[in-house]
Homo-oligomer: A and B are copies of this chain.
């Protein structure tokens, strides 16, 4: 993803999916769409995982917007479904991006 303007919040989620995924894609699509409508949403990146592992990073403007999303009623219901059915496990890291920089070589086009 293009570089953003620090500081901002990055939420790194690594999850392991169960094999009970009926309805998962629809719920996930809905949550992606809903999160994109929230104030302070900056973007997301899905990273390739191994096997039934999923990795996603979601960027938020600040702690307040992340908190708003965490407490969103529809998201709360979805998170509960995640814990009860769809995820065997997950790890979440909440980080504050302090600075970032890029390098573009002559050959990078």
Chain A residues with CB under 8 Å of chain B are 3, 10, 16, 18, 47-50, 55, 83, 87-105, 107-108
Contacts and interface: CB of A to CB of B under 8 A. Distances in A.
Given A18-B107, A107-B18, A99 B88 contact: no
This chain's copy number in the assembly? 2
B101 A89 contact: no
B102 A88 contact: no
Contact of A94 (B48, B97, B102, B107): B97
Given A3-B91, A48-B48, A83 B100 contact: no
Given A94-B100, A96-B95, A98-B95, A105 B48 contact: no
A31 to B, nearest CB: 16
